[in-house]
A and B are shown apart, each in its own frame.
Chain A
């Protein structure tokens, strides 16, 4: 038996909107730790890892570990029927091939339940090691989204370079080139508007902008985004989900042929 009650149902709606274009089908894993997902895009170039910790739910009952295969487009269709202020409860019985999403309006005057068919998904679970990164950049998520969108109108790839001068986002295309440098800025009153660069050593990596733009669909989940770079690892683009956990996108770099 599984019953997860999320008062801030809009979080789940936002999570779905941020992953459904990247991943078609995925297993949601439910354990005592929380509600999680790990899935790669169909090209195996990007990976998404989501964790919503059990403590973040108003009610969290998960009698035994359960993996539920869902088509994310269908799940999104169902969650779009929930109001932004609705409380969402996810329910499933052991051995059932369906999951139920229950939506309650804040005033309890409307209660809806949507039952969705589950599917068997054969997916490998990857081991992601704890790692030291050469550089970690924290910046406003809206700023990062703007940069990715702007650069994708010029080129297909972005070179992200971190030096002690700051973080530089560069692209080139048929019409020309573009460089955007963001310097460390901690003087602003609001911490979420600051840009903080931790650099152990300079790093420069090239990524497909199409994937970066897809990751920025998670912007509504967090004011800040953290970009962790190392020359030996995929970049990690992380959006913290307030009080609950995170959504992390991993993207393998492009390298010189």
Chain B
């Protein structure tokens, strides 16, 4: 099965 990553796993808050 596949796990959906999130945008926040990659990009931090400015």
Contacts and interface: CB of A to CB of B under 8 A. Distances in A.
16 contacts: A45-B4, A46-B7, A126-B11, A127-B13, A157-B2, A206-B2, A234-B5, A252-B9, A253-B5, A254-B2, A254-B4, A254-B5, A255-B3, A256-B2, A256-B3, A257-B3
Contacts of A129: 11
A46 B5 CA distance: 10
Contacts of A45: 4-7
A233 B5 CA distance: 10
Nearest to A206: B2
Given A126-B12, A233-B10, 12 more contacts: A45-B5, A47-B11, A124-B13, A126-B8, A127-B12, A234-B7, A252-B5, A252-B6, A252-B7, A253-B5, A254-B4, A257-B2
B4 to A, nearest CB: 5
SS of B interface (majority): mixed
Interface in A112-139: 124-129
Contacts of A127: 11-14
A126 B13 CA distance: 4
Contact of A126 (B2, B3, B4, B14): B14
Interface of A: 40, 43-47, 124-129, 157, 206, 208, 232-234, 250, 252-257
A193 B1 CA distance: 37
Given A126-B12, A126-B13, A127-B12, A47 B7 contact: yes
Given A255-B2, A257-B2, A250 B7 contact: yes
A254 B8 CA distance: 14
Contacts of B5: 45, 234, 252-255
Contacts of B8: 44, 126
B9 to A, nearest CB: 6
B2 to A, nearest CB: 4
A126 B9 CA distance: 11
A128 B11 contact: yes
A88 to B, nearest CB: 29
A214 to B, nearest CB: 15
Contact of B3 (A44, A46, A233, A254): A254
